Amino acid sequence: MHTIFGKLFALGSAFGKEGEMLKRAVPLNGEDFIYQIFVPQLKREATKLPVVVFLHGIRERGHGGFISGMFAQLIKSWLSRVPAVVLFPQCRPGRYWPDPLMEEMVIGALEQTLDEFNADSEQISLIGVSMGGYGVWHFASRYPQRFAALVSICGGSPITSGERFTTVAEKVGQTPVWLFHGAEDRVVPVSESRQLVAALKARDGRVRYNEYEGIGHNVWINALAEKELLPWLLAQQRS
C-alpha cells in the first residue's frame, strides 16, 4: 500500500525560478524506488495542473533518479516551458518498462503525484523516448482509459508476436497520439513507427506523425523542439 506522498527526498530548487525538481520514492517489496518530479513555478496559482509522465530510454536506467548532469541541462529549457507537473520514473538496471514491478512502480508514482500536487487526473499525458517509447504503448495498452495523450519518440510496439501493431491500435482507440522518428534510425527501425501509424489510421485513430530525413536515433531533440507539441499535448483532456 503506497503512502500518500511516499518518502520525500529534498533536492531544493534545482531549476530556481523556473520551478523545482524534487525527489520522491515508491516503497515496493521492501525497497524504495526513486522518482523525480518537476513542479512548475505556477503551482501556487493553479489548483489543478496537468501531469506529464516521461519514460526514459535504456541508458538512463538506474537507482537514484536520472535527471542530473548533462541530461538535466539539455532538458532544462524544455521543462521551463511546461505548465504541468512532470513525473520522471526510473527503470531499474536490467529491466524494461513492461516488467510487472516497473509497471507497479510507475502507476504508484503517478498516484502519489496526483495526490501530493492535487493534479488533474483527466489530463495525464505520457511521453517516452526509445525504450520509453515502447513503454508508452505498453502503458497505453494496459490502461487505455487513463491517458489523455500519448507521445512516442523513436519507439515501437512492445508486443513481440502476432498482430503486433493492430493489437496496440485496438487498445489505444481514440486516444490522441503523436509519433516522432528519425528516418535514419539504426537503433529502433523507423518501420516501427510507420506501422503503428498505419494501424492507428486504419482504425480512424487520432494520430499525428513526424518523420525527419537525415536524423538518427537522437530524434528526441527534434521532437521536444517542435513548437506545436506542448500546446497540443496540454490541450488534450480525457473524455
pLDDT tens track of the chain, all 239 residues? 344 445 555 433 344 344 788 999 999 999 999 999 999 876 555 568 999 999 999 999 998 887 765 556 667 778 878 889 999 999 999 999 999 999 999 999 999 999 999 899 999 999 999 999 999 999 999 999 999 999 999 999 999 888 999 999 999 999 999 999 999 999 999 999 999 999 999 999 999 999 999 999 999 989 999 999 999 999 999 87
User: Measured in whole angstroms, how far is the alpha carbon of residue 137 from the centre of its chain?
Assistant: 10
User: What is the spatial distance between Cα 30 and Cα 53, in angstroms, rounded to a whole number?
Assistant: 24
What is the arrangement of strands in the sheet containing 85-89, beginning at the earlier edge strand?
Answer: 7-9, 19-28, 31-40, 85-89, 51-55, 124-129, 149-153, 177-182, 207-212
Backbone angles phi, psi at 133, to 5 degrees: -65, -40
Say whether pTM exceeds 0.75. Answer: yes
DSSP 3-state percent helix, strand, coil across the chain (nearest 5): 35, 25, 40
- Residue 185, C-alpha cell as written in the block: 534510425
User: What is the spatial distance between Cα 156 and Cα 195, in angstroms, rounded to a whole number?
Assistant: 9
List of domains in the chain: 19-235 (3.40.50.1820)
